[in-house]
Amino acid sequence: MVLLFSHDLTQEQIKEANERFNIEEFIKLPEKLQQKWSNVPPEGEFTEIYFDDFKEFIEDNLRKGDFVLIQGDFGATVYMVNWAFKKGFIPVYATTVRKYENYKGEDGSIKNIHYFKHVNFRLYKVE
């Protein structure tokens, strides 16, 4: 499974991928591509050429029927999920339960804490 994803997998995610999809290998993006995926420019128009390096990496590391975890910038995710389907890959995403806590300090400051817990992977669907 190629990880087109901005975070490290948790042990729960690894376990589920192993058991549910028989994933034996998790392929992280090289650092340069990871930085690029985690920082898709919000300015200007969407340019398909921006994603050529990701497509090449995925094609070099997967075969038809292999899984790719795709999450990130909304437009980038939609684009890469559609591309993955066209190429015969199986795109998935992770769902989470989120808990939020808010603390007000005596000095007027606010501390926000967000907790995320993996629930399961879902297959992307298209009509």
- The CA-atom distances, in angstroms, between 16 and each of 21, 43, 81, 115 are 8, 36, 21, 20
What is the dihedral angle through the alpha carbons of 37, 38, 39, 41, rounded to the nearest 10 degrees? 60
Residue 14 phi/psi, 5-degree rounding, is -60, -45
CA dist 81 and 7 (Å) reads 18
Mean of pLDDT values over 35-56:
95
Closest CA to 71 of 89, 87, 93, 102: 93
Mean of pLDDT values over 50-55:
97
For 58-94, the pLDDT digits (tens) are 999 999 999 999 999 999 999 999 999 999 999 999 9
Could you tell me if 116 and 96 are in contact, meaning their C-beta atoms sit under 8 angstroms apart? Answer: yes
For 3-31, the pLDDT digits (tens) are 999 989 999 999 999 999 999 999 999 99
Q: How many helices (H) and strands (E) does the chain have?
A: 4, 5
